[in-house]
Each structure stands twice: as C-alpha cells, then as structure tokens.
C-alpha cells in the first residue's frame, strides 16, 4: 500500500525519493506506450473506417452525355411518294425534292438560344407509298376533268394521302407540274416545321409570345407512356334537384374508344368513370339574369372545387386528365358560359371549357320540365354532344393539332405568305370514325419524338451535374445501366438525314425517344439518389463528433504532457553532459 502511494506521488511529482527518477522514467514510458497504442489504432482504424463508410459511385459516361448540346439540329425525314397520272408530263423526283427544299428553306425562322432546333428533311420518290406507314405519304396528281381552266384543288384524306388536281389547261409543262407538286409538299412540311418551331419557342421562353401554336404547346401534356383519363358526373344538389345517372359505358365505347384505340401505338389511355352526388356548388358566384345563370371567363379558372370534389386518380404514377360533366342545381339552371365579360356577349356553343394540362368541364342543363326528386338517366345519345366536346378537349390536351397537315381554306388572290398558288382550294376530310387522322398521328409522333429526345438529354445532363455537386451521393450500378441504356436509345435517333428511304423508321425513332426519356427520368429519380439530397455532410459531423471528441481530448492532452516532459528532460540532461566532459 505504501509503495502504491509513493508511486502515485512520484507520478504527480510531489515527492522525490532516491528511486523517484526511475519511477518518473517508468511513468513516462508507460504514457508513451499508451499514446502510441492509441495512435496506432487511429492510423489503422481511420483508413478502415473511411473505406467501410465510403459510398459506392459507379462511373457515369459524362463525356458521352455532355456531347449533346441544345444547338444540335435534329433532322426528321418526311417521305412523299408521287403517283402521277400517266397523261401528265414526267418530272424527276430529284427535281421536285430540290424545289421543295428550296421553298421550305425560304420560310424558316431562326431558332432562339436553347430551343433545340429541328429540321424536316423532305424525301421524294415515285411510286405508291407503303400502306399505314408513319412518315410516308402518297401524293396523287391528276388533271381536272371539267372544261374550265379554274385553279388547283388539294384534297387531304385521313389515310396519309393528298390529292392534287391540276386545272385543265391546253398545255401543262413539266416545269408547271413540278412547281405545283412542290408547292403543296413544301406547304405541308413548312406548316408543321413552323408549328414545331412555335411550340419549342413557347417552351423555351419565360413569357411565350402569342405566335403559332404557342397556346397549344403550353396547354398540352408532355409525353407519357400511360395516361389516366377519368370521366366524372358531378351532381351539385340531388336533394333539391334531380337524381342523375348516365350510360357512360355505351358512350365511351361509341365515341371515345375509337380514339383510344387509334392512339394505342403512341400511348396507353386508361379510361375510368365515376358519379359524385352532393358535389356542392363551385367556389364562384355566377351572374343571374334573365332567368338564367352565366359564367364569365375569369370565373372558369376557379370553377373546379378541388377540396370538395373527389377527383383522385386510380393510378398515382400516370398523369391524369379529368373530364367533368357538371349538372347544376335546378334553381340555377340553365347555366351558360359567356365568351367575354362584355354586356351582350354571346354564350359558348359547346357550353364547356378546358383547363391546360388538367382536363375539361362541360355543363349539362337538364330539360326544363325536370322536377325536384325526379330520376334522370342520360342516355348514350344524350351524351353524344358532351362526349364530342370531351374528345375535342382530349385531342387538344394531348397536343393533336387540328390543322394538320393543312387547314381547309382557299388561298387569296395575292397569295399572301402561303406557298400554295393563289386561288388554290384546300379541302381536308376529317377522320370521323377514329377521331384522329394518319397525318395527325404522325405529327404527334414526331412532336413526342422531339420532346422525348430533349427530355432525355436534359435529364441526363442534370443527373451529371447533381452527382458532381454531391460527392457523397450513391450511384449504384443499376443507375449506370439505366443511363447507358438511355444513351443507347438516344443514339438510335437519327441526327443526320438518311441516305435512303429504307434507312429511317418514324416508329423506331419515336420508340427510342420514349425509351430514352423514361430511362433517364427513372435514373434521376432513383430512391437511392433522392434520399442523399436530404443528407448533407453536416449530418455526419453531428453523428461522429459525440464519439470521437471525448476520445480525442485525453489523447491530445497526453501528447501535450509527453512533449512538455520530453523538453524538460532535455534541458536537465544538457548540464550533466557538460560536467562529464569537463571532468
């Protein structure tokens, strides 16, 4: 016990015995051993800790992603097959193609910065077009059978066919035939290229100008492989009004299903329906006058009562389009939508309105003889006008342009800015059976191809910037695989005009663009990456400091004491050494 006390006093330096110097040296050595052991553990443990806690980051193909730029021009070929009457002078397809490209080039507008330019390349060949092939169109040229000179007539059929009837004149030269055919083809190509240009400018500008197609471009949905369409019958007040039901299954099968089937190669539309009773009034106060109720355009943006109306989607992933058939309370019927706020403004013929990227609303006023408590079932025939409105709204929300490939018109005498000859009549036959023509399907396919390619590139480049900014973000091999597959799909989209017709497929390009966009967004929104956005480095400091700080303070204090003790011994050893040398 006495020895332990003496040793403690020696460690503290309180006593000095004959053996105190030996005890101090022993204590000093023990401190060295302890501190050395801790340092060795740290030297071994820190690299081991760093290795075991380091996140895995698969190498992304950054150079291949960054080679895509918004200034790169995407060339989309459009094929026209000339089927001319044998009585007309023969014209080489190459001459028509050259004339078309010259005319289209003269109508092009410059693209703004970051607008992802697109160029439509025209390919002209003789013969019949392959049936039901997107991007291939048949041009039938014939001479008018009547005796009058007249003007050219352009008939556009839904099945990707355009007929050009030239006026019956005494002489039709090869040059005049070439110019007439080239003008029609150039007008079709230029019209769609300018529509795409206007849509791209509208998406790229903060305040889109009111140019060609800018309004439709803002209101249309982005491409999605699956879109959920919900049809809802809303009865405002069945207690004081009528109990309303509808034969929606028959109406969908008759009026909407043909359009759904026609769009199946591009996107899958799943249609569901529901009936909501006791919906309650909309959060606006209509104007009551002349035994009717009126809604003005400013009221329409606040008409939908989202908190009270249960409009939840059955598919939480797919984008949703809502189409509401609203039955007002009997006391406020009839309800009309005015074209403007001006006094004496006319009512909208369809009594409906659409909401960009959301859906549409149609107001159904019941017959005047309807009494409170009566039961009303809207038959398929009674739903026909409302379903027609929903079909038109769905077309617009998907981005289907109604003036594709040309609008029905007659070119004025001065010709204006049209590429068609003055006096030319354009007659477009509507696709009444399916609700969408082959021309419109192809234009939508090309539009979604452009959007899909742009979405894939911008998403991949955003992913690269995100990974570079967060060095602790996990990048799994599955994400790299998705990025590689997205780049592979992008490379399948032709960026240069094809040399021959057989080298290009509009369907393949669309499928590649859709695949690239889906894979890029899947990689970007991977759960393993999204979670790291909310785990900064400060969280690590907060976790590890409570563990390492209590250990580090005694170790640093011991090292400090060792350094001080070592310096003291050196100072004491210097006089002893000098005395020995003198002796």
Give the integer Cα–Cα distance in Å for 88 and 176.
10
What CA–CA distance (Å, rounded) separates 73 from 66? 15
CA-CA-CA-CA torsion sign (536, 538, 543, 544): positive
* pTM beyond 0.85: no
Among 245, 305, 231, residue whose Cα is nearest residue 277 = 245
**For residue 327, what is the enclosing H or E element?**
strand 320-327
Which pLDDT belongs to residue 207?
42
**Count of residues in the chain:** 583
Task: Please give the Cα distance from 476 to 498 (Å, whole number).
Answer: 37
Give which of 233, 252, 261, 262 is closest to 436, Cα–Cα: 262
The ranges of the chain with pLDDT < 50 are: 1, 4-5, 8-17, 148, 204-215, 414-416, 581, 583
Distance CA 49, CA 56 (A): 14
The pLDDT value recorded for residue 144 is 82
**Residue percentage of the chain with pLDDT more than 90:** 39
**Res 189: pLDDT:** 93
For the chain, what is the mean pLDDT? 82
Which among 151, 178, 176, 179 is positioned nearest to 165, based on CA atoms?
Answer: 151
pLDDT of residue 161: 94
pLDDT at 25: 56
C-alpha span between 158 and 100 (Å, rounded): 23
Q: Which residues pair with 155 in a beta bridge?
A: 163, 427
């Amino acid at each position: 016990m006495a020895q332990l006390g003496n040793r403690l006093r020696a460690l503290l330096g309180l006593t000095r015995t004959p053996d105190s110097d030996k005890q101090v040296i022993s204590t000093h050595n023990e401190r060295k051993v302890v501190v050395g052991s801790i340092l060795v553990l740290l030297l071994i443990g820190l690299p081991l800790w760093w290795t075991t806690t380091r996140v895995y980051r698969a190498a992304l193909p950054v150079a291949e992603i960054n080679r895509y730029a918004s200034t790169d021009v995407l060339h989309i070929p459009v094929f026209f097959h000339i089927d001319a009457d044998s009585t007309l002078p023969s014209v080489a397809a190459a001459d028509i193609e050259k004339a078309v490209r010259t005319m289209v080039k003269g109508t092009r507008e410059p693209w703004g910065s970051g607008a992802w330019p697109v160029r439509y390349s025209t390919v002209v060949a003789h013969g019949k077009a392959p049936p039901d092939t997107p991007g291939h169109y048949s041009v039938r040229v014939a001479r008018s059978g009547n005796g009058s000179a007249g003007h050219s007539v352009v008939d556009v059929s839904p099945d990707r066919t355009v007929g050009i009837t030239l006026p019956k004149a005494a002489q039709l030269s090869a040059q005049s035939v070439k110019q007439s055919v080239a003008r029609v083809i150039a007008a079709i190509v230029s019209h769609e290229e300018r529509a795409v240009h206007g849509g791209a400018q509208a998406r790229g500008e903060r305040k889109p100008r009111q140019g060609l197609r800018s309004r439709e471009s803002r209101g249309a949905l982005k491409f999605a492989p699956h879109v959920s369409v919900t049809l809802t019958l809303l009865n405002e007040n069945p207690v004081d009004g009528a109990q309303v039901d509808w034969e929606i299954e028959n109406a969908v099968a008759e009026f909407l299903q043909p359009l759904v089937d026609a769009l199946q190669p591009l996107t899958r539309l799943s249609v569901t329906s529901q009936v909501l009773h006791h919906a309650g009034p909309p959060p606006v106060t209509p104007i009551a006058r002349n035994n009717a109720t009126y809604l003005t355009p400013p009221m329409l943006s606040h008409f939908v009562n989202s908190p009270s109306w249960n409009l939840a989607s059955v598919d939480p992933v797919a984008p949703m389009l809502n189409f509401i058939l609203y039955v007002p309370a009997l006391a406020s019927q009839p309800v009309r939508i005015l074209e403007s706020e001006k006094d004496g403004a006319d009512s909208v013929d369809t009594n409906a309105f659409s909401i960009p990227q959301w859906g549409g609303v149609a107001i159904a006023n019941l017959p005047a003889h309807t009494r409170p408590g009566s039961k009303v079932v809207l038959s398929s025939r009674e739903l026909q006008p409302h379903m027609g409105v929903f079909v038109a709204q769905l077309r617009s929300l998907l981005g289907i342009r109604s003036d594709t490939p040309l609008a029905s018109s007659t070119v004025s005498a001065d010709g204006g800015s049209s590429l068609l000859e003055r006096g030319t009549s354009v007659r477009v036959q509507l696709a009444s059976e399916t609700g969408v023509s082959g021309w419109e399907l192809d234009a939508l396919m090309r539009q979604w191809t452009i959007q899909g390619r742009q979405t894939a590139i911008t998403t991949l480049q955003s992913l690269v910037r995100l990974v570079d900014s967060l060095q602790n973000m996990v990048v799994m091999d599955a994400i790299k695989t998705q990025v590689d597959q997205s780049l592979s799909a992008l490379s399948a989209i032709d960026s240069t005009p094809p040399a021959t017709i057989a080298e290009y497929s509009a369907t393949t390009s669309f499928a590649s663009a859709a695949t690239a966009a889906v894979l890029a967004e899947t990689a970007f929104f991977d759960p393993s990456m999204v979670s790291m956005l909310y785990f900064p480095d400060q969280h690590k400091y907060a976790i590890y400091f409570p563990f390492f700080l209590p250990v580090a303070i005694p170790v640093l204090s011991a090292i400090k004491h060792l350094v001080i003790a070592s310096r003291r011994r050196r100072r004491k050893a210097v006089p002893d050494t000098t005395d020995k040398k003198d002796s």
